Structure 1
Amino acid sequence: MVVFQSCLFAYILYLRACSASDNGWNAKIPKSVLGLSGSCVVIPCTWDYPSQGKTYKEFTGIWYKDSPDLPTISVDEEVTSQREVTATCVVSHSCPSDPPHLTWSHKGTTTSHSQLQEDGQWKLTSSLTFTPSREDHNKHLSCAADITPAKTVSNNKKLKVKYPPYNVNVQSKSQVKENESIELNCSSDSYPPVHSFQWFSSTGSLLESRSTYRFNNVTRHTEAISCTATNTEGKNSSGPHKLNVLYPPEIKTGSSCDSETPIVCVCIVDSNPPSEVKWLGPSSTFPSSSVEQNGSLTIFTLQGWLGFPDTVHCSASNSEGNSVVTLSVPHHGLIIYLVVAIGAFVVIVVVISVCVAKKRCGQRPAQSVLDVKNDHNELKTTPKSNISSQEQQNNELYTTIEEPDQSVYKNFECDDGYPSCEQDEDEAVYANT
């Protein structure tokens, strides 16, 4: 600080020396010294004065304030994306013991060095090596010089980054009706701007070489299209662009009803937007059993059992129109099923009836001898074991009636009215006169 004050004092001495040079005073200082506000400054100077045996111990200094110069940034006017580049930031100062601190707004590798200039000035240079990207295009590259903790000056320069076409897109209306026309536009983000556009079909055939393309009389079968944009840095293409074509329902020929049990009817509808389907009978409407969507195709399924009509109508509709098809319902499979079911039911009923009858007859008590008498005749029954010899002669069981006009004697019957019952050999009763 003493040196600084001494130099300032020398400046005063210089002014005095100019007016009192005859007395032997002489001072040499630079014509001008550039200093940064808030920083130190060194003013080189020398002086001569007649001492005459005197020694000066006190000095008076005068300070002059001024705004510091801004940093100077140097970088190429145009840089290329993904290619390394170096930028420099230069600031002048006059305090080598406490030089400014330089910082960059972009990430990269930095180096700094300070160089003494004429008239006591110093030049601080910071170099930044970085790799720009397309995101840096039209962004500002800044360099800031921290003179003191409370004083900072900065400067910036806009970057021009060259990069090939990016985000190539085909733009059009969101939807178009079948048989209408539509115009497509190709757009991209690039620097420098695109100088060439090309349109290609899905098979790679070149269709047009300009930024727009027009489709006439589009249909649901119109193929996808893509666009390629080119500039001095390269080229890029959009993805396939498929038009959203609106068209009414078309019921496919595969729609039919089968003869399986249960009956299954399928209605296959091609439409955009997807259709709603109603199943119509002679006097009623049936809901779909299931609906399956596969792209523009919708498969509607209807299942039915007894009482299914001979024909059903599949009615499909959307915002563009409607379509109806009549499906015949084959019933021979259902008739066979009904015959088999009814036959099985009859067999089950007969078997159950026989089993019940057997159970009831098996519980009736057996009789070995029964005597029935009246005033006109006498009926006797004899066990089977006593008439075995008679069975061998006559080979039949018979009944003799003495007075036919008064009574009839029969073989015994079951209580339930069945004509015969099976009984064990020991429980059988044979009747005769």
Structure 2
Amino acid sequence: MEKELVGLKSAKLVVYGLPDDANITIPVDLHEGMETNATCRTSNGYPPPLIHWYIGSRNLTDNSSLKSLLNRANRYDSLSTLIFVPNRFDHGKRLLCQAVQPETFLFRSVNDSMVLNISYGPIVSISSRRLIEKGVHVGFVFKCTSDANPLAFKVQWICDCTELQGCHNTSFNNTLLEGGTVTSTDLAIGYTPSKYSCEFKCIGISTFGEGTAVLKSTFYGKKNISFLFISHIIAYHL
């Protein structure tokens, strides 16, 4: 070469890009009403990504915090922490962590998600319909429905503190599994010869708690029936 080096210049190479991955971590057990922390980690992004949180279509990003640190490769590892309170309507929905890199083409992102399994005590309700036999109105059928996770293992009817199973002038169908969290049972009651009043109570019991619904009713022989549904729903941890 036989030439003398007279100068040297350098340039910093900056490569914008998404993190390698995103990973959600949540507690093993989620309980309705209990404040919960979920975390989402990303690695090797540049610059630090924006991390968004969703449950279903609901955006929860405002309830989260974000920290980013420069690693040995001069790229960023990030940690986002979401604080939220699970409720039963979120059970079965998807929790999504979305790491967005605004500096990349079309705001590309990397995601991680998981389906929420939220425990809650039985939520019990009562509905009614007419009991028809051979075209004749002979009584009423009350339906008790329990929504719980884990599933209610027992749904029972009580009238004025007495369990109705096997009582005179009543009949039951078997408890039905209607879905992943819902069970129900029907109580059929024929008309009585004279006026008869009763406070019907339906109780759903699960390993996580108990729920109750009350129906006050009055039968007037074969004429008619009047009833008043009282919202008396209880759900608590055992």
What TM-score does the superposition give when structure 1 sets the normalisation length?
A: 0.38
In the alignment, the residues of structure 1 paired with residue 2 and residue 14 of structure 2 have an alpha-carbon distance, to the nearest angstrom, of: 27
Flag the 1:135–1:176 CA change in 2: closer, same or farther, 3 A. same
Shift of 1:215: 3.9
Return the offset for 1:272: 3.7
Find the partner of 1:79 among 16, 26, 30: 30
One-letter amino acid matched to 1:100: P
Q: Which residue identity is paired with 2:158? A: F
Match for 1:237 among 212, 222, 225?
212
Unaligned runs of at least 5 residues, structure 2:
55-59, 167-173, 176-184, 228-238
1:361 equivalent in structure 2:
none
After the TM superposition, which of the residue ranges 130-139 and 212-221 deviates more from structure 2? 212-221
Instruction: Please name the residue that 2:202 is paired with.
Output: 227
Give the Cα separation in 2 of the matches to 1:64 and 1:132: 39
1:208 to 149, 165, 169: 165
SS in 2 for 1:135: helix
Question: Aligned residue for 1:112?
Answer: 66
Give the structure with the larger helix fraction: 1
Kept after mapping to 1: 8 A contact 2:118/2:149: yes
Alignment of structure 1 residues 1-400 onto 2, 5 Å = 53-55=4-6, 68-95=19-46, 98-105=47-54, 106=60, 109-148=63-102, 150-153=106-109, 154-166=111-123, 168-176=124-132, 180=138, 184-201=142-159, 203-208=160-165, 211=175, 212=185, 214-215=187-188, 217-219=190-192, 221-224=195-198, 225-240=200-215, 242=217, 247=222, 271-272=223-224
Q: Quote the Cα distance in structure 2 between the aligned partners of 1:198 and 1:230.
A: 9
Bigger relative contact order (CA 8 A; separation at least 6): 2
Deviates more, 1:176-185 or 1:188-197: 176-185
The structure having more radius of gyration, on CA atoms, is: 1
Structure 1 position 151, deviation (Å): 0.9
Aligned-pair Cα RMSD in Å: 4.0
User: Deviations along 1:166-196, whole A, 9 cap, x unmatched?
Assistant: 1x12345335578947655421221111111
Could you say if the C-alpha distance between residues 100 and 181 of structure 1 is closer, same or farther in structure 2, counting changes exceeding 3 Å?
same
Letter aligned with residue 232 of structure 1: T
- Output the CA distance in 1 between the equivalents of 2:115 and 2:150: 15
For 1:341-379, what per-residue CA distance to the aligned partner results, in whole angstroms no more than 9, with x for missing partners? xxxxxxxxxxxxxxxxxxxxxxxxxxxxxxxxxxxxxxx
Q: Is the Cα contact below 8 Å between 1:77 and 1:159 reproduced in 2?
A: no
Higher strand share: 2
- 1:427 aligned residue: none
Whole-angstrom distance in 2 between the partners of 1:53 and 1:232? 85
Asked whether the 8 Å contact 1:181–1:214 carries over to 2, the reply is no
- CA gap 1:77/1:64 in 2 versus in 1, 3 angstroms: same
Distance 1:123 1:175, change over 3 A: same
CA contact (8 A) 1:179 1:218 kept: no
Which whole-Å CA distance do the structure 2 matches of 1:156 and 1:208 have between them?
46
Matches of 1:55 and 1:272, distance apart in 2: 109
**In 2, Cα distance between equivalents of 1:191 and 1:229:** 12
Q: Is the 8 A contact 1:165 1:234 kept in 2?
A: yes
Residues 227 and 238 in structure 1, CA contact (< 8 A), matched pair in contact too? yes
User: Cα offset for 1:99?
Assistant: 1.4
Q: How many residues align?
A: 199
TM (norm. structure 2) is: 0.64
What letter corresponds to residue 27 of structure 2 in structure 1? D
